[in-house]
Amino acid sequence: MKTYSKYIRVKALDLDDLDHVNNVRYVQWIQDISKEHWEHKAPQEVKDAVMWVVLSHHIQYKAPALLHDPITITTHIAETKGAKSIRVVEMRHSVTNVLFVRSTTEWCLLNKENSRPMRVSARIQKIFN
């Protein structure tokens, strides 16, 4: 399992009325790292032929992240079957390693020409394993 990570720092615009990172921001970060991982790893000819859509998100909020907290966001593909992949994203405090959020997202691979689901090929699986 290959992981992809990035580092961010919580800004004032990320906060909700309780001065914690807003749940909507976490969802955006999940989307962002998922897309970045795909864009970084997949060859252009593959990206030109297929696209991913979200079928479901399951998000567990474990601890609140606060203003200026350093966060390491890590993602990997946990499982692939047919046209679907399960992507895991974790967000942890970069110094203390406290887990803020863990999510699993079910994605479906679509053919760009006809927007129909298509089996995740061995070539695409190899990109992420």
pLDDT in tens, 35-52: 999 999 999 999 999 999
The yes-or-no verdict on residue 11 having pLDDT over 90 is yes
pLDDT band of residue 128 (cuts 50, 70, 90) is: confident
Task: Report which secondary-structure segment, H or E, holds 6.
Answer: strand 4-9
The model carries a pTM of: 0.95
**What is the second-level CATH architecture of the domain 4-128?**
Roll (3.10)
The yes-or-no verdict on residue 107 having pLDDT over 80 is yes
The sheet with strand 50-61 has its strands ordered as 4-9, 70-81, 84-93, 99-111, 50-61
Q: What is the mean pLDDT of residues 83-94?
A: 98
- What is the percentage of the chain residues whose pLDDT exceeds 70? 100
Task: Report which secondary-structure segment, H or E, holds 44.
Answer: helix 44-49
